[in-house]
Amino acid sequence: MNETLMQTGSALMTAALADPAGAPSHPAIFLVLGVVTFALHIAAVAILLGSTGLALYAKIRTGDNWLRLGSTMAFTAKAAAGAAIVLGVAPLLFVQVIFDPFWYASSMISAVWTLIFLALLMAGYLMLYRVHAMEHPVEGYSTRPQVPWLAAALLLFIACGALMHVISNQALFPGNWLDWYAPGGQINASGWSLNYMHVARLLFFLALALPVTAGWIYGMRRWILSKAAARPEDGPYSDFLETVAFRMAQAGGILLLVFGLVWMLTLPAEQKWFVRSVWPYIGLRSVLYFLAMPYIQKKRRLCITCNYMGFVMAVVMTVVLAALREALRVGTLFEASGWNPMALAVNWDIPTLAIFFVTFLVVGGTSLAYILGMAWKAGLGFTGRPGEVWTPPAGLEKLGTIAVTLLVVWVIGYFAVGIALLF
């Protein structure tokens, strides 16, 4: 088909699919929030994949240090799965506000797979709980029986990532939708088709698991070191963690560089313009940081702030990579169908916006501060010996009460506003 005709067709089709309500506030807000929340999602995914993989490796290796790390990582994986799911919802909302026709069409073409995605995710998550149930910390750490469960969970999570990747990517090529929906002119409304996978791009995002988890372990090492006075055996263990983090970060940096290069060199014709833009060079800076991270940590191994900053910087670099990914989408959709999220009609909806930010900052903020504060203090308070009892400080207990009260007020307010609007 003539390229201009196809572009006009795509433009007409996506304009017809667009929500006439437009955006409830300036699209730039959704664009920025989309990038930041996607970065947090993919950072949580990275820890999920990295901790599940490391727990699996540790249980295969056995030995005291490996088993201790494997046990901690299996536990971390459970928390990371919860975080990845919660942090996946946020970019999903923003994508639906400013790229709705694209996300909608892609998820309709692969509708059955979006449901299979949920089943795979739930199965993987349950497997992590199975692993947890098999741990016997009082009698020593359990090993082999957990290996098949961790391996299966890891495979399921990678499959989830591959499905997310296909759905995200199909959305970028409206010119192909007709062929995918009606191959050879025959409509296939089964929702079973999966059409576009860019292996190097997928591997790039999956490989983030290594350096981001390494950043996490650098923080863990420092935290364990700070308790080593109470538990002398923690000294050698923290050295062991440092070696593990170093190797993971080293391998991760190299893989990111290789996959990133292959991704850029194999971009489809519609995205070739991207290589000539400034974005790949901005992305390269993040990859170079990841390559340098293990050496920076080695040099600054005694600097407490630097050790924790390893993980913070890994997340910051992930935000940069998320921005690059967003630039690729915005440019591709503009080329393919003239879609410009900034040109969406704005119908200001202040109450919705206010509810969103108040919920996010006040309700979410206090709950998170309570959970993190509790975890931090409990971790420092415990030496890890069986039968130990820890009492939280009064200030934290008070913060917990405030967090729960705010949640209850929010739920009541939510129903009150809904009922008031109904009648």
Contact residues: ligand HEM, CB under 6 A: 38, 41, 45, 48, 84-85, 88-89, 91-92, 95, 121, 157, 160-161, 164-165, 168-169, 201-202, 205, 325
CB of 99 to ligand HEM, least distance (A): 7
User: Which CB atom, from 121 or from 344, has the smaller least distance to ligand HEM?
Assistant: 121
Nearest residue (CB) to ligand HEM, 69 versus 162: 162
Rounded Cα distance, 404 and 178, in Å: 50
Q: Which is nearer to ligand HEM, 156 or 309 (CB)?
A: 156
Q: Which is nearer to ligand HEM, 91 or 294 (CB)?
A: 91
- Smallest separation, CB 85 to ligand HEM (Å): 4
Q: With both helix axes pointing from N to C terminus, report the angle between 64-98 and 100-109 in degrees, rounded to the nearest 10.
A: 120
Helix (H, G, I), strand (E, B) or coil at 352: helix
For residues 209 and 218, give the distance between their C-alpha atoms in angstroms, rounded to a whole number: 14
Q: Which amino acid is at 35?
A: V
How far is Cα 345 from Cα 21, in angstroms, rounded to an integer? 8
Instruction: Identify which of residues 106 and 366 has a Cβ nearer to ligand HEM in the complex.
Output: 106
d(CA 111, CA 115): 7
Query: Cβ distance 224 to 241 under 8 Å?
Result: yes
3-class secondary-structure state, position 189: coil
Answer whether 113's CB lies under 8 Å from 70's CB: no
Q: How far is the CB of 365 from ligand HEM (least distance, A)?
A: 21
Instruction: Report, in Å, the least distance between residue 44 CB and ligand HEM.
Output: 9
Nearer to ligand HEM, 341 or 400 (CB): 341
* Least Å from the CB of residue 222 to ligand HEM: 27
Residue 30 Cβ vs ligand HEM, minimum distance, rounded to whole Å: 12
